[in-house]
Structure formats: structure tokens, C-alpha cells
Amino acid sequence: MNKKHIHFMGVGGAGCSAVFAIAHSLGYQVSGCDKEKWSPYLDNKLAKLVSVGHSPDHLKGVDLLVYSPAIPAYDTQNEELLTAKKKGIEAVPWEQFVAKELLVDKFVIAIAGTHGKSTVTAMAAFILEKAGLDPTCLVGAIVNAWERNYRVGKSKYFVIEADEYSEKFLLFPADIAAVTNIEFDHPEYFADFEKLKAAFGKFVKTLKKGSILITGPKVGLENPNGETIQVSKPANFDLKMVGEFNQMNAAVAAAVAKKLVIREEIIQKALESFSGLVRRFEFKGEEKEVLVFDDYAHHPTAVLATSKAAREKFPNQKIWLVFQPHLFSRTKALFGEFVESFEKSPVDEIIITDIFGAREKDTGEVSSTDLVKTIKGKQVKYLPNIEEAATYITKEAFAGDIVITMGAGDIYKLPEMLLKKLGNKI
């Protein structure tokens, strides 16, 4: 620990919040800042260390500035970042801090893939925990069992979600790596599918000598520095999580655990008691006998897979799907796939809200109304925002109906809004 005081910018984010908390737990002197003091990811116990807004004043006595990559992406002239550089304070994205400080001398288990990486990361760490291996874990979602997006252990094991966006995963050379699947995503960064596949090719080349690579059935990667194991079919555990895709996630997590010589009965018991992650087909509540669920699905494959899982769980009930597209670039690049996914979705009624632009500006090339007009053979409606969607469903839903909200933007706010409106329904 050669840094006295580390300041974290963007501590409310899914990744930076976990790194901030892990660093604090390991004894680093930390402070943080973000646009708001509260975030669904930020540990409430650390709120006292967080300032609201960004300011050069936060840099007093700081030896290292760690930031969320979203900050320079949104604000290239961020005063706090620019001042740090002027003052000669080292500034690094959080992934680089993790690589340089937290993963040193660790046995690294890195989980990558277009779909399922958060779930497999959490599942693998949970198995290690139940096997007494006391891992540290960094994951981009809240794990229900921990009520946070991280775990701090005292052993050599560090389980980390390795994201392909901006090729961040190249910073995490692993002893064991898993790649769940590879599909085209992040068109705002990767020009085409070949570029994305090339990034995964680079990722496996970073694996340590004597490492193990575990892949899903259609990944097609080989470990040039060690062993490759392909998981060919889903598991058959009695999971608390729905859907065949979660059985595949469980199979990959189990394969990781087996390479650590964890007994099969421990693996099965851990996976069957694993209660999932926040925003992964998460039950949010029931009001007037309407059941409301929320899911992070924002890619066509995930939307369809989650829809099918919902239909398996509720074969005879009306299912509403409220989808908020995430990023103009993704909606445009995967437009045909989204249309096909909704047309195949076994739900009864679909509502699509405006695209959540996040770091992107609307150039007018694609819109949610374009999607609604193109989808055939389904009952589909465009409503601009989540408030209107909640109001509409409140009027139209009946006892026994199922509502699922999906997306990676701010649609996570809709379930609570809907439940309140349903509660006031006369």
C-alpha cells in the first residue's frame, strides 16, 4: 500500500462503487464523490466519505485519483480531472487501479462474455465462499446474498467480472477465465462483430501461463497459455433462478469450482441456495394481485431469453413487458434483432419507452417509435416515459397479471412507481 489517500470519482457507479468499498475494507484511506450521495450500488455505511458533485477542492491531500471511465466520456473538460493532471496527481480509471493494486499476488478468476457474466461471477464466488475459500469478489450488480456488489475475503482468490467494453478485460490476466458466450454488442465501441471477437481473442492471450479457460458451447476460443474446457450443455440444478440460460450460467460456474477441486455436493448445495442478483428477474412486489418483476436485459438475446423464462414460470397469466432501449447506437445496430426478439417473445403486451441515451446524443437516426411500427403480430405500444407507462398499466392491468420491466437505463425506477400507483387504485 504505497498510496496514502485515494480519491474516487464516480463512486455511485456499478464498478467504481465496489472498488471504493473494497479499497476502504483493505485499509486504504479513501474519499469519494459523485453527482448524488445516494446510489443503488453505494454502500450506505460509506456515504459519510462521499461528497456531492465534482470539485478541485476534493484533491487536497490526495495521492491518487481513481475515476469511473464514464466521467471523461460524459465531460471531457471535467475540472476535477484536469486540475489533478495540472497538479501532477496520478489519475487512473478504476479498472487500472484494480489491476495495479488489488490483483497483485492474487489467484485471479475472471468471468467474461456478452451475457451472464455478472451472474456467473457471483455464482462462482458464492461457491468458493461456501467451500470455505473466502474469496474477494467484484461484480457489476448487487448480489442478493451479500446485499452489495462486492465481497472482501482474506484468501488469495479474487473473482472479478471482466467487461469487454473498451477492452477493459485486457487489464485482468487470470489464472482461471470463463467466457460464457460472444454476441455482438457495444456498437458504440466495436465497429463490427469481427472487432468484438478479436477483443476476446486478445483477452485469452492475456491469461497466465498454466491457466485454465472455460467456455460456453459456441464460444470457439482456445487458451494459448494452458488448458481449455468447453461446457457443452446447461446444468440441471434445482435453482432459485428461472430460465435455461441460468442453468448454463450455473454449469459454467460449476466448471470453475471443479477446477479448484471443490466437491460436487458443495457446488450443488451452493448453487441451489444461491438467491440471484438484483435486476435479474427480480421480484419487486405485488399490489392488487399484479406481480411486478425487473430485469437488466438490454440486448435482444437477453430480452427473448428472459421473456421465455417468464412464460415458463407463468404459463397461463397475462404478461406485460415494458422495455426501455439503451443507447441509440445499440438500438440502431441491433434493430432487426430487437424486432425479431419482440416478435418471438411469448408475452401478451409490449410497451416500449423512449431510448435511454446515457452517454450518447440523439441524432434522429433511430427511435422507439421506429421499433413499434416495425414489430408485427404483437400487441405493442409506444409510451414516451416510464411515468406514462406506469399510469397506463395501472389503468389496464387486472389481478393475476405479470409485469416485467427491462433495460439498462433508469427503468429500474418504474416498478416502485407502478406498485404505488396500483396501491392507490380504487
The pLDDT, as a whole number, for residue 425 is 64
Angle in degrees, CA 281, 393, 311, rounded to 5? 40
**Intervals of CATH 3.40.50.720 along the chain:** 5-92
Give whole-number Cα distances, 276 to 161, 250, 282, 283, in Å: 15, 11, 8, 11
pLDDT of residue 360: 86
User: Which letter, b or e, does each residue of 369-394 get, where b requires 16 or more Cβ atoms within 10 Å of its Cβ?
Assistant: ebbbeebeebebebbeebeebbebbb
Tell how far CA 11 is from the center of its chain.
Answer: 16
91 three-state secondary structure: strand
Q: What is the pLDDT of residues 9-18, one digit of tens each?
A: 999 888 999 9
pLDDT number for residue 35:
86
| pLDDT recorded at residue 2 | 55
Q: Give this prediction's pTM.
A: 0.88
Q: Which CATH code fits 5-92?
A: 3.40.50.720
pLDDT of amino acid 187: 85
pLDDT at residue 1 in the model? 47
* Mutual angle of helices 300-313 and 335-344, in 10-degree steps: 10
Answer yes or no: CATH 3.30.450.20 is held by domain 282-423.
no
Any idea which fold 103-273 has? UDP-N-acetylmuramoyl-L-alanine:D-glutamate ligase (3.40.1190)
Q: Range(s) for CATH 3.90.190.20 in the chain?
A: 282-423
Q: In what order do the strands lie in the sheet with 290-295?
A: 282-287, 290-295, 402-406, 319-323, 349-352, 379-382
Tally the C-alpha atoms within 13 A of residue 208's C-alpha that lie toward its C-beta.
Answer: 16
- Stretches where the chain sits below pLDDT 70 are 1-3, 425-426
Locate CATH 3.40.1190.10 in the chain: 103-273
pLDDT of residue 143: 96
